[in-house]
Structure 1
Amino acid sequence: MTKKRKGTRQGPVLRRADQVQQTTTDQRLLQGRGDTDWVHADPWRVMRIQAEFVEGFGTLAELGPAVSVFGSARTPRSHPLYAEGVRLGQALAEAGFATITGGGPGLMEAANKGAAEAGGVSVGLGIELPFEDKLNKYVTLGINFRYFFVRKVMFLKYAQGFVVMPGGYGTLDELFEALTLVQTQKVTSFPLVLFGRDHWSGLLSWVENSLRDDGYISAPDRDMLHLTDDVDEAVAIIAAHRREQAALAHRLTEEPDGDA
C-alpha cells in the first residue's frame, strides 16, 4: 500500500498527493547547478512581464503631456509623408507635447526626428522583432520591450492623444485597440486623429456604410475619429482637448462640496 504524502503549501499554492515536490522553493533557488530550462518557463515570464511594466512606468512617469504617433515603418525618407511626419513632431514639440512612437524607421523615425530637432522629448518604445533590431537615432528617451501588450499599455497610459499616419497591420492594430478602449470607456476619452485623407477615406467609408449603418457601432462611435491632411489641424485638435480637460479638472476642484 502506497503511503499518501501530506499536503504542503508553497506561498499561495497548495500541493497534495502526487503534486507534492521533494524540495523546497529555497532549495531550488540556491542550487548552484542544474537544468536552466526554468528561465524559459511561464512563471519566469511573469517576472519578465512585471519587470517590463516597472521599467516602463518608472521611465515615463514624469514624461508630461505626450502624443503617440503611429505609422508605417516602411515609408522611405524620400516620400512626402516622411516630411509631414517631421513637421508633425516639430509641431507637437512646439505645442508642449512629447512625441511617442514605436521607435522604428519610416514614419516613426520622421516624427522622432521632428521632435528631437525642435528640442522636444522624442520617445521610442521599441519591440523585439526579427526585422527591427534598434531604435532610430532620433529617439532621446527609449525603451525596448519583449512583449507587445506591455508596450501597448505605455502608448496608451502616457498619451493625451493619438495621431495615426498611414500604415499597415501594426498601425491598424494600434488604431483599433485605442478606439475599442475609448468606445468601451476603459480609458478616459482622448482624440484620435487620422492623418492622410487619401489613405484613410476608404476605411472611414466602410466604417460608416457597413459598421454604423448595419448597427455594429453607434453614430457617436464614428465621431471619435478626426480626419485631416494638415499638421497644424492635427495638433490643434489634441491641444484643444487638453485645454478642455484642464478646464474641467479646474472646475471640479473649484466646486464646493455638496455635503459641506
Structure 2
Amino acid sequence: MRSKNKGPVLQRRGQVDGTTTDQRLLDSRGPTDWVHTDPWRVQRITAEFVEGFGALAELGPAIAVFGSARTPVEDPAYAQGEQVGRALVEAGFAVITGGGPGAMEAANKGASEAGGVSVGLGIELPFETGLNEWVDLGIDFRYFFARKTMFVKYSQGFVVLPGGLGTLDELFEALTLVQTGKVTAFPVVLLGTAYWSGLVDWLRGSVVAGGKMSLADLDQLVVTDDVDEAVALMRGDGAGAGAGAGVSP
C-alpha cells in the first residue's frame, strides 16, 4: 500500500502527494498555492498571536476605544474621541483602537498628543489603507479573532463612541465575555446618549423583557455624554459598571 509520512501527518493511497514541504519552500519555480493551505494558515495565525503578545506584553494599563471609521473630522464625535484619548492618557492609561480613520484616529490623536502610548490594532480589509498617522505602536492583523484577542487581553475596559457593525461587534463580544465569565471587572461605557439610548431601550424593553438576557447583563453598560465620567468608570471610581445601564445627563 502506497503511504507517506509528512511530519506528523500520514498519507495513504490517493492522499499521497508528490512533493515535500521543503521542496515546495525552496523551489521558486514550483507552485505557490501551498501558502494558502490550512496547515500554513495555522502558522500565520500562530505568528499573529506571537507578534501581538510580544508587542503588547509590557503595555501596562490600557483602555480600548471603539467607534466608526466613517466619523468625519467635523463630527462632534471626532472631537469627543480626541478628548477621550487625552483624558485616558492623563489618567494613566494607554489607548488601544482599531487603528483606522474616523473615531479611532481621533482617540489615537488625543492619546499621542497627550504624550501617552497610542496603539492601533489594524485589520486587513479591502477598503482601508492602513494605520492612521497617530498610531505610535501598531500591529496589522490578517485574522479578526487574533486581533479581538489582543483587544480583550490588553484592555481593562471599553469606551465606545458611535459606530456601525464593527463597533457593535466589539461591544456585544465584550458583553458576552462578561456574561459567560470569560472576563471579569470589565467596564463598558457608551459615549453619546442620543446615539446609544435607543439601543439600550430596545435591549431592556425587548431582549430583557423577553427573557433573552438578564438585567444584570444589561447592567454592564453605562451610557453617558461625560468623558470625565467615562474615564472615572475605567479607573473604577464612581458607580461603575453594574449601575443599571444608566443614562447620565
Q: What TM-score results when the alignment is normalised by the length of structure 2? A: 0.90
Match of 2:155 in 1: 159
Which secondary structure state, in structure 1, belongs to the residue aligned with residue 236 of structure 2? helix
Task: Give the partner amino acid of 2:36.
Answer: H
How far apart are residue 240 of structure 1 and its match?
A: 1.3
Q: 1:125 aligned to 2:126?
A: no
Q: Choose which of 184, 189, 196 in structure 1 pairs with 2:180.
A: 184
What is the rounded CA distance, in whole Å, between the counterparts of 2:79 and 2:28 in structure 1? Answer: 56
Asked whether 1:234 is paired with 2:230, we answer yes
Q: CA deviation at 1:28?
A: 3.9
**Partner SS for 1:234:** helix
Pairing 1:208–2:178 present: no
Q: Shift of the alpha carbon at 1:169?
A: 0.8
1:108 to 104, 108, 118: 104
| 2:33 equivalent among 23, 32, 37 | 37
Preserved CA contact (<8 Å) 2:24 2:30: no
Is 1:171 the counterpart of 2:167? The answer is: yes
Alignment correspondent of 1:62: 58
Q: Tell me if 1:50 matches 2:49.
A: no
1:94 equivalent in structure 2: 90
Alignment check: 8 A CA contact 2:187 2:233 kept: yes
Q: Give the match for residue 248 of structure 1.
A: none
RMSD between superposed Cα atoms in Å: 1.7
Shift of 1:154: 1.0
Q: Which amino acid aligns with 1:191?
A: P
Unpaired runs of at least 5, structure 2:
241-249
1:15 — aligned with what?
Answer: 11
State the TM-score, normalized to the length of structure 1: 0.86
Shift of 1:13: 1.6
Partner of 2:246: none
Does residue 136 (structure 1) correspond to residue 132 (structure 2)? The answer is yes
* Structure 1 segments unaligned to the other structure (5+ residues): 245-260
- Structure 1 residues 24-33 or 45-54, which shifts more? 24-33
Change (3 A) 1:25 1:112: closer
Question: Alpha-carbon deviation of 1:68?
Answer: 0.2
- Partner of 1:226, secondary structure, is strand
- TM-superposed deviation, 1:136: 1.2
Deviation by residue 1:155-213 (Cα, 9 ceiling, x = unmatched): 11100000011011111011011111111112233001111111110000111011111
Structure of larger gyration radius: 1
- Name the CA distance, whole Å, in 2 between partners of 1:30 and 1:104: 37
Match of 1:195 in 2: 191
Any idea what the Cα deviations from partners look like across 1:57-92, whole Å, max 9, x if unmatched?
A: 111111000000000111111111211111111110
Q: What's the CA shift string for 1:6-29, capped at 9, x where partnerless?
A: x43322222222223344444444
1:84 maps to 2:80: yes
Identity %: 69
- Post-superposition shift, 1:102? 0.8
Q: Secondary structure at the match of 2:100?
A: coil
**AA of the residue aligned to 1:184:** T
* Alpha-carbon distance in structure 2 between the residues aligned to 1:115 and 1:128: 24
Paired amino acid for 1:51: A
Instruction: Please list the CA deviations of residues 73-120 of structure 1 after superposition, one character each: whole Å capped at 9, or x if unmatched.
Output: 111111112111111111100000000011111111111111111111
The farther-off stretch of 73-82 and 62-71 is 73-82
